[in-house]
């Protein structure tokens, strides 16, 4: 960790299993100051978040405007309702496996001005209610908003095959790490267990690794589905890391424990 140049601007490395709200609350308690963050990172993900305390909270919009960089793994053959491992499997087609060259051809089509549909399982507010609350309360899903932004760069940096059995194990271990919050953990764990008992877990799936740079507010989970749509395949995100948030990378980050 590098020494903070401004004690009220705190870049933090959010570990997998934590929520951004949880970290912000802990920092507020430790510093004795009001705190806010500049954008949520999913608890199944990890990476750079920015927490602002004191009067710096009033500059939230300024700090939120920085570009974001991510690395993510997209596994083809299954889809979930959350577009990542923290969801219920909705469709399966293990036979349709995209070739590396096909993936490479669609990525340039995504670069530039970009619109995406916000995922239902997100903290985006619609009619004053966070979207993930609609299914939690048994309410009909509202019309999902569309976000516009820019994809500055999108690259395929890895292409391999992964067996389904260890993938399910990896996903369930990540879910068990989530410390607080109601994210349907029990239901989702049962879903992955049921899947492992109902299909051939020795099946090999294609896994592609990407790095991307985006403008503020875009969802990598939605981007993953747009990639799948252009390829004509199913897929979901199994790993997501925010490697840069504005000017901050992991090198500038502290942990919650290091904040005083």
- Residue 217 CB contacts under 8 Å (≥ 6 apart), including other chains: 39, 64, 147, 149
Who's near 171: CB < 8 A, 6+ residues apart?
85, 192, 238
Task: Pick the closest to residue 214 from 159, 147, 145 (CA basis).
Answer: 147
Of 6, 8, 42, 113, which one is the catalytic site residue? 42
* Separation of alpha carbons 223 and 232, rounded Å: 14
Q: Which residues contact 164 (CB under 8 A, 6 or more apart)?
A: 94, 196, 199, 200, 201, 202, 203, 204, 205
Distance CA 209, CA 72 (A): 6
Identify whether 84 is a catalytic site residue.
no
Name the region of 5 (left: φ>0; alpha: ψ -120 to 50; beta: rest): alpha
Burial track 166-191 (b if 16+ CB lie within 10 A, e otherwise): ebbeebbebbeebeeeebbeeebeeb
d(CA 47, CA 241) in angstroms, rounded, equals: 5
- Known catalytic residues? 42
């Amino acid at each position: 960790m590098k020494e903070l140049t401004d004690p009220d601007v705190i870049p933090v490395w959010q570990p997998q299993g934590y929520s951004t709200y949880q970290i912000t609350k802990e920092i507020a308690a430790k510093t004795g100051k009001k705190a806010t963050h500049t954008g949520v990172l999913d608890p199944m993900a990890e990476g750079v978040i920015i927490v602002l305390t004191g009067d710096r909270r009033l500059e939230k919009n300024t700090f939120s405007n920085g570009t974001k960089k991510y690395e993510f793994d997209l596994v083809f053959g299954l889809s979930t309702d959350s577009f990542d491992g923290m969801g219920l499997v909705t469709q399966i087609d293990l036979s349709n496996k995209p070739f590396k060259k096909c993936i490479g051809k669609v990525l340039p089509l995504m670069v530039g001005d970009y619109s995406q549909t916000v995922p239902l399982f997100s903290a985006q507010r619609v009619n004053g209610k966070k979207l993930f609350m609609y299914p939690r309360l048994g309410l009909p899903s509202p019309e999902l908003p569309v976000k516009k932004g820019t994809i500055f760069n999108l690259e395929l940096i890895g292409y391999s095959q992964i067996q389904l059995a260890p993938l399910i194990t990896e996903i369930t271990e990540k879910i068990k790490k989530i410390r607080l919050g109601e994210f349907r953990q029990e239901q989702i764990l049962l879903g992955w267990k049921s899947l492992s008992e109902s299909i051939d877990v020795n099946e090999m799936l294609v896994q592609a690794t990407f790095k991307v740079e985006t403008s503020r507010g875009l969802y990598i989970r939605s981007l993953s589905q747009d990639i799948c749509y252009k390829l004509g395949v199913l897929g979901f995100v199994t790993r997501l890391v925010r490697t840069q948030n504005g000017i901050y990378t992991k090198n500038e980050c502290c942990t919650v424990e290091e904040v005083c």
